Chains A and B, each alone.
Chain A
Amino acid sequence: MIRERPATPVRRTVRSVRPGLLAAAALAALAAAMPWLGVSSYARTLVYYTAYFLTLGQAWNLMSGLTGYVSFAHGALAGIGAYAAVIALNAEWPMAAALGAAAATAVLASLVIGATSLRLRGTAFTFATLFFQELVLLVVRKLRFTGGPGGIVLSEILPVWLPHVMMMVLAGGASIAVALLCRSRVGVRILAIKNDEVAAAAVGIDATRLKLVLFCASAGLAGLAGAAHGLFAASLYPDVLFSVDVSLVALAVPLIGGVATAAGPLAGAVVYVGIREVLQSIAPGLHVTIVGLLLLGVVMFMNEGVAVAIGRAAARWRGHGGRQRARAAAGDD
């Protein structure tokens, strides 16, 4: 977990990396094995959506969380990935090629935004992403090979476990990649850009290139998440795929959980799916409003996110408990 205060002992973060990564990999493997463990399809769907939102959230985190350049386009990038994968599979491409096409199309699409606006600082990038969603929706509804406003259907019937396993692999892989990136030298460079881009450039960091590479990686990941979800959903409707909701998920998940951390989006995805499930039975229409209020509350009062806030509360609780408990906790490590 990257902290802006240099006072954090470095050794401890390094030591805590490996068990965390192992736990993440084990969790992803367990979740991926769900179709064979006799779990109810309801529980499996919940886990699936948690992983889908987690992957989208990590994709957003990779660009916007780390650099501070807010993107509203990740829903659209995922939608592009979904379309590319389904169109490729309908054209009898092998699965690997279809997934490759999904990632590549999303990366190419992201270059439209990146090339025009990443040279600039501040709001230009955010604006460019904001219009992107609308632009893609309009274009997809117009083109013939995307099925126009009626959308397209995946002609091949895939086994149920396939999109599930894919999504788990993506979610686990993305989380581990973000965790590793945060601790690498590149991660430090990115942090420098976020804190002060002019100063970062002055010490020789090529900010524009780094931002562009990150945005492409982030778009590719979003495209893959969209592709896996396209196989899960099997029928794509442009108005659903390119609705504001998906982009909202992509940024709400890391913001609620904790921006620029690897664990934050996991907490955010669990909270998000939980809220959605609870509200669906109590007040189905209020889901968007509640998520908005939650987002507002988190940004205003808990701007590091739920995960960091809980961690800090736990640390404080440990501190109040006197030395004995602290020593006991240290001994557990």
Chain B
Amino acid sequence: MSLTLACQLVMNGLVFGALLGLVALGLALIFGVMRVVNFAHGEFITLGAYATFLLVTRLAVPPLTGVPVALVLGALAGWFIQRTVLSRVSGRPELEVLMVTYALSVVGLGLFSQGFGGDFRSYAEGPTGNLRLAGVVVGWRSLSVLIVCLVMGALTLLLVQRSRTGLGLRAIAQNRDASAACGINVPRSEQLAFSLAVGLAAAAGALVSLIGTTTPTVGHEWVLDGFVVVVLGGMGSITGAVVASLALGLIHSFASYALDDSWARILTYLLLYLAILVRPHGLLGRRAEL
């Protein structure tokens, strides 16, 4: 394998991994703060993808404006669902909360299938052309996705790791009751975490519509990989999720080149079973968390 080819594959892997990272960041945030496995996460990716698709094809705006729009739309949808559904079931047994998010995902899937049909949708607008750097060809489309992902990911990490609000979120993740006793507003923090995570998912969906095709199940496919990453990274560990996303992106990229896309996915899932078997608490997670 030549060096240029390797660079090319690394680049492809980074784009995939960065997008996956946005999804996984949200999943890890929700699990860490709310102890909820959000099966409906994928439907918000689909929401962002369709919203951007409609914006571009109906209103003829540039696709990248879909990212902030999807972010806000997703955050609003997340806030609404947290208020109306999830806050009512907090504290219930794990199985029930799991079923609630699963049911939400089924509702979303049904609505998207009904509203848009099974067609594959994509558009040609947006950044075009390639950037050539020492033989490595990178499409401006992928590059813009990578840059937007990195910026959003960095801002989120900054918010969670460096701000006072983020301190509250991390405190709740460590010990919910003690945080409440210290005066941290737990319900409001949960709302914030859920809205932010869902907003990120929708923004990721906007980017997915830019480099891929949009179908009612597009989010479902992404969120499965998101779960792989969250489990590998240690449930609820944000750094773990980001590292695992990039690693999975690279593995996927190289495996897709050496074999094909299906085998790359098969490999991913087998890797997950192996990881659960060998390190049940994830690569970076703490022992008690799973």
Contacts and interface: CB of A to CB of B under 8 A. Distances in A.
Contact of B269 (A131, A142, A248, A255): A131
Interface stretch (A27-35, A220-228, A280-288, A306-314): A280-288
Interface string A141-154: 11000000000000
B269 A134 contact: yes
B103 A286 contact: no
Interface stretch (B51-59, B104-112, B119-127, B142-150): B104-112
A255 B98 CA distance: 12
Contacts of A130: 224, 227
Contact of A116 (B85, B262, B276): B276
B37 A289 contact: no
Interface stretch (A10-18, A53-61, A117-125, A265-273): A117-125
Identify the interface centre among B96, B102, B107, B231: most chain A CB within 10 Å of its CB. B102
B235 interface: yes
B258 interface: no
A70 B224 contact: no
Contacts of A112: 273
Interface residues of B, number: 42
Contacts of B114: 285-286, 289
A120 to B, nearest CB: 5
A292 interface: yes
Interface in B76-124: 85, 88-89, 92-96, 98-100, 102-111, 113-114
Contact of B263 (A131, A142, A244): A142
B224 A131 contact: yes
B152 interface: no
A57 to B, nearest CB: 14
Given A120-B290, A127-B231, A300-B88, A288 B106 contact: yes
A293 B95 CA distance: 17
A141 B262 CA distance: 9
B280 interface: yes
A288 B277 contact: no
B228 interface: yes
Contact of A299 (B103, B224, B265): B103
A200 interface: no
* Main SS at interface, chain A: helix
A293 B85 CA distance: 12
A303 B262 contact: no
A296 B107 contact: yes
B227 A299 contact: no
Interface in B24-58: 37
B215 to A, nearest CB: 13
A299 B96 contact: yes
B61 interface: no
Interface in B244-290: 262-263, 265-266, 269-270, 272-273, 276-277, 280, 290
A126 B110 CA distance: 22
A286 B110 contact: yes
Contacts of A139: 266
Contacts, number: 110
Nearest to A285: B114
A303 B111 contact: no
A138 B266 CA distance: 7
Contacts of B111: 289
B262 A138 contact: yes
A296 B102 CA distance: 9
A128 interface: yes
A292 B99 contact: no
A299 B99 contact: yes
Contacts of A127: 227, 231, 272, 276
Interface string B198-214: 00000000000000000
A115 B113 CA distance: 36
B224 A296 contact: no
Contacts of B96: 299, 303
Nearest to B108: A292
B99 A70 contact: yes
A295 interface: yes
Contact of A70 (B85, B95, B263): B95
A300 B265 CA distance: 35
Contact of B265 (A70, A134, A295, A296): A134
10 contacts: A120-B276, A120-B280, A124-B280, A131-B224, A139-B266, A286-B114, A292-B108, A293-B103, A303-B92, A303-B96
Interface of B: 37, 85, 88-89, 92-96, 98-100, 102-111, 113-114, 220, 224, 227-228, 231, 235, 262-263, 265-266, 269-270, 272-273, 276-277, 280, 290
Q: Which A-B residue pairs are the 10 nearest by beta carbons? A: A289-B110, A292-B106, A288-B110, A292-B107, A296-B103, A295-B103, A285-B114, A135-B269, A299-B99, A116-B277
Given A127-B276, A135-B269, 16 more contacts: A116-B273, A117-B276, A120-B276, A131-B224, A131-B228, A142-B262, A248-B106, A288-B110, A289-B106, A289-B111, A292-B103, A292-B104, A292-B109, A296-B104, A296-B107, A299-B103
